[in-house]
Structure 1
Amino acid sequence: MDFSALLKALNEASGFELFRLRVAIDRALEQPHWQVAIQRQLHIGQMIEFFDGQENRLRTGRLVEMRRKQAVVELDEPTRVRWQIPYVSINVDGLDVTIREQPKRGLGRNEVAIG
């Protein structure tokens, strides 16, 4: 998917249109078939890559538990912190999810990530 083209189209939408789209996306992601399709590709102990929306970047961790709606991941850090993440945030296909904007100068807001 061309995230840059999608972002360009979203920038032309009204706030109401964006909100309506967010509701539609949230409902689509709640459909059980998304979770089941991802769960079938996972096993306990597997190293996974997932998107952290708070830090706007991909992270890696080890899958330690598979719950009904969320996966429990032990982050690949010295602290061994465990996070609960939605299955749909796991990049099971290894897709490139980088958003490449064409800024006039400097970095675009979606190209900046913590870490």
Structure 2
Amino acid sequence: MNYADIIQALDHASASDLYRLQRAIEHLIYESKRMIEIKKALLLGQMIDYYEASANRIEPAIVENIKETKAVMKNLRDGKRWQIPLCAINIRGTDTRIVQPEVEGLKKYELSIGDSVGFVDRAGMKKHGCVVRLNQKKATI
């Protein structure tokens, strides 16, 4: 799937339209056929990649336990154990980056914690750094 095309198509949708789609997608995510597909693809000790929403990036991990709709993973980046939804696991190995061909500015969903970024501030000075925190409106560099 080309996520950038989907985002671009939804760019002019109303909040109500997006909410309705969010609910429909949520139902699709937890359909039993999708949960079964994921469970069949997972093995204890298997290395996988999963989407970490709070950091907006893909994380490498090892499967430690598989439950009904969640799995316990050991994150290979920080060594911590996390319980994550099965739907966050990228079992097909697809490219999930969202990159849009814009010349000006980045959208929040294009940034991940740990990304290197550069910009020109209001005073015209070039700044660069690493994204350390993301919230609803800003990225902390």
**Alignment TM class, shorter chain as reference:** over 0.9
State the shift of 1:89 in Å: 0.9
Query: What percentage of aligned pairs have identical amino acids?
Result: 31
Task: State whether structure 2 residue 42 is matched by structure 1 residue 42.
Answer: yes
C-alpha distance in structure 2 between counterparts of 1:24 and 1:83, whole Å: 27
- What residue ranges of structure 1 are gaps of 5+ in the alignment? none
**In the alignment, residue 60 of structure 2 is paired with which amino acid?**
T
Task: State whether structure 2 residue 98 is matched by structure 1 residue 72.
Answer: no
Contact 2:59 2:77 (8 Å CA) reproduced: no
State the match for 2:88 in structure 1: 89
State the match for 2:112 in structure 1: 113
Superposed structure 1 runs of 4+ greater than 6 Å apart: none
**In the alignment, residue 109 of structure 2 is paired with which amino acid?**
N
**In the alignment, residue 66 of structure 1 is paired with which amino acid?**
I
State the shift of 1:62 in Å: 0.6
State the match for 2:99 in structure 1: 100
Contact 2:50 2:90 (8 Å CA) reproduced: yes
- What residue ranges of structure 2 are gaps of 5+ in the alignment? 115-141
Residues matched between the structures, number: 114
TM-score by length of structure 1 reads 0.92
State the shift of 1:104 in Å: 2.7
Task: Tell me which protein shows more strand as a share of its residues.
Answer: 2
Contact 2:65 2:71 (8 Å CA) reproduced: yes
State the shift of 1:109 in Å: 2.2
1:57-105 C-alpha deviation (Å, 9 max, x unpaired): 1001110001111010011145x31111111111111100111112232
Task: State whether structure 2 residue 22 is matched by structure 1 residue 22.
Answer: yes
1:2-52 C-alpha deviation (Å, 9 max, x unpaired): 111100111110000000000000111121111110110110001110011
User: RCO greater where, 1 or 2, for CA within 8 Å and sep 6 or more?
Assistant: 1
Contact 2:60 2:77 (8 Å CA) reproduced: no
CA RMSD of aligned residues (A): 1.2
